[in-house]
Structure 1
């Protein structure tokens, strides 16, 4: 199948599930600032004007979790009680327990005399040459649209915008390559009283069109803005938000498989997060080295065991060398044990709140070490 339509979606920082993700990662960051040896699995639920913080935390740290949650909600922009969710007036319930000692024994002293994986599981990393960031074009544009919505909301340029929003982009592919934009959907929460026609025109002209690459604008594009009409009730008032429910938004927009484990609220001993970052790092460096135009990496782990139980590399027919040869290169150039990943990517830093909206991959923030292509030259020379 070389000619097809492919669609990805994203959600804004004010979407209820993303509010939960950002609070969970803000809690993780607050703990990491005090204790790099912490074990954190922080879950968040937001509904109406209620925030519930639960999970398992073992750390030598004193953190005001209530304050962390409120500051995150305020930063996102929920500061008006009339919206139904407000940083100052919401109720915050804290119900953290400690990590099971059975897990701690396996992680802290593993079979391989190195830090063991915090759980079993499988993780994927992906890269392709559709964009300069080596991300698939549909998810890349979907993220940029909701980022643009937030930018215009914060600047006051479109003062009727509210924090909750969703985007969706459909790309037409010819011969397996992006050819043109087919459909753009953008739904945004808004203040009462705004006429739908004015809202739709403003969103198309101010939010959508500035994001779309001119090379992809060919023929008629279908723009669908708030297709159901009014979107006044949004955020946690409209829907319950829970950590870890936007795992496809967080990764590759459906262009690559997902192992099922969410990222936010988890310290780097949890391979759901750290190994997915490492797999992206591997895949991106292979594509950056010119060894393939697409690369999918799968790794898997057993709890308490440091070395991966499997490493798989496939270039989906685009490689300049065999997948087996690439797998051997990966084993030689990347330490995919949990401790090796943490050191390789410098993951024991309070960098995670920033990852929790607009995608964990394909971004240029200096803190996102897994986006570096510093291994590309060595891989190219070794090949």
Structure 2
């Protein structure tokens, strides 16, 4: 097989002894997992971009520059930055991890026996760096050297035998830290399903995460990380819409309750549209009691508060108690035990709000209470955040946003300072 390029230049800080765990969206960010755009983005074409979930073909070198500036901004605020690809390379040095990765990418029905055998043998001969590259950037039919059979003969030269994973950029979706556990999510669309197999491999086989317990898993009902908001310690909101199913939300709630990671799960139905694919495209936390929110949906957004029956009161601990729907802000404030969850609107008028919501105006990444990273282009939303007392750390994102994701989508917090107990 031919090479598809070289990974980015950064080095992961694997020697750190930083405590792992996250109990909120706004505790001071200590460690974060990113993915620097790489060769997988160069696989996007006008013919496959829809299938691979990109609205435009990004200018890759500019996207890398913007992402490097994003990472440097985080480091400048004292955040340790880990890179997914570098962790994957280090993980693939482990023989068992290599076997699992190769099996995961070749045990598919579309390859056929001849081609699957050839790919398995070829991948076994690769270095960890080369194997990671093929797993993330994919393999085209015309890159196969040998192993020709009926399948390769019938496929077009530019068909992918192993699909690229350009959405690795959005590390929030494939894993979520809740307390000291990491949830391996289950992604809804075929273009993204392999991502969580790679994150699971990292969290279960990389020395940095030795002893870490995982919950949920890519084999379960679909739940995506962009739909999971840690409103406060013990309160988790889960958006239910295009990517997370009702069954996924129920399964996820059961996992959280069984592990003692939450006392209330807020199930939040959202419109099944591209513009609102995840809950974090509608709202994100910027302080312990402040949320930036798309106003065109704010009045209609509802939540079902889900709790577990208490065994000591004669209840069945497996029974989920579902309260009647309430306005999201009301239900969230009750669960968080605060008087009001203050809403900061995206934009100043309906048209501006719609434009800036589409450009990820409320997809912010909190660095600490009242400090949030946001795309610089969303002027009106950023001005409203600042008027509400939020420090806005602006970053460029003209190319990074082509896959419909902002600073929160592009980051998976691995460690945050715990919030003080109320």
Fold shared by both chains (TM-score > 0.5): no
Bigger relative contact order, structure 1 or 2, given CA contacts below 8 A and separation 6+?
1
Q: TM-score, normalised by structure 1?
A: 0.30
